Amino acid sequence: MTDEATIAFYDREAPRYTLSFAISHGRWLDGFLDRLPEGAHVLELGCGGGKDAQRMLERGFSVDMTDGSIGMAKKARERTGQDVRILRFAELDADAAYDAVWAHASLHHQPLAGLGDVLCRIHRALRPGGWFFANYKLGDGDDRDRFGRLYNFAPRQHLLDLYRVAGWELEDVHDYRDGGLDKVMRDWIAITARKGD
């Protein structure tokens, strides 16, 4: 995240927000983890309250948890007992350090103009053959929801083009409808991509 109003929302709402998403680790995580080698080192971008990281740890993976919100990082640390780094997406500077990157419902807060750079940074952070998951709310470009959070609302084809320019091999692209905290049903896309060997 880079938008100050969005970060302020998550800092302020972290206790309530993490309670509202405390039970399930979601529909995408286990299938993604099944692709990874045993004990893989995973970078989580936007760990939120730590529920996905907790599941990864339970399954024996090493997780580097990051979030742009101090409030959310605190909740993730409380939940998992693990360190959480404060990191904005555009600050990622790792080079071939991870086997996988997990970015569930987080990169959609990156302004669209900088998303291509972030996708290149993630590509560089992975080892050859590494895996990357992210999902996004689709639309017509940057806008805010009723809570003031910024979303890139990426146009579908533009988003896929950004992935291709960054060098990703698209392994699974899934379109679906879903809501969120704002209860607005929207078109989403879930992308599982791979860095070539």
Which tens digit of pLDDT belongs to each residue from 1-20? 578 999 999 989 887 766 55
pTM: 0.94
Q: What are the residue ranges spanned by the domains of the chain?
A: 4-194
pLDDT of 180 reads 81
Q: How confident is the model at residue 22 (pLDDT cuts 50, 70, 90)?
A: very low
Superfamily of domain 4-194: Vaccinia Virus protein VP39 (3.40.50.150)
Q: How many CB atoms lie within 10 A of CB 64?
A: 21
pLDDT average, residue stretch 76-101: 97
pLDDT greater than 60 at residue 24:
no
pLDDT of 14 reads 84
Question: How far is CA 104 from each of CA 107, 150, 197, rounded to the nearest angstrom?
Answer: 8, 16, 24
pLDDT of 1 reads 59
pLDDT exceeding 90 applies to what percent of the chain?
86
Identify the three-state secondary structure at position 25.
coil
pLDDT exceeding 70 applies to what percent of the chain?
95
pLDDT of 158 reads 98
CA 12/CA 93 separation, integer angstroms: 28
DSSP 114-176: HHHHHHHHHHHHEEEEEEEEEEEEBSSS-EE-TT--EE--B-HHHHHHHHHHTT-EEEEEEEE
Which run of H or E residues covers position 70?
helix 70-80
Of 180, 150, 194, nearest in space to 26 by CA: 180
Specify the higher pLDDT residue, 190 or 23.
Answer: 190
Question: How far is CA 112 from each of CA 89, 97, 121, rounded to the nearest angstrom?
Answer: 12, 25, 15
Identify the three-state secondary structure at position 78.
helix
Identify the three-state secondary structure at position 179.
coil
pLDDT of 138 reads 98
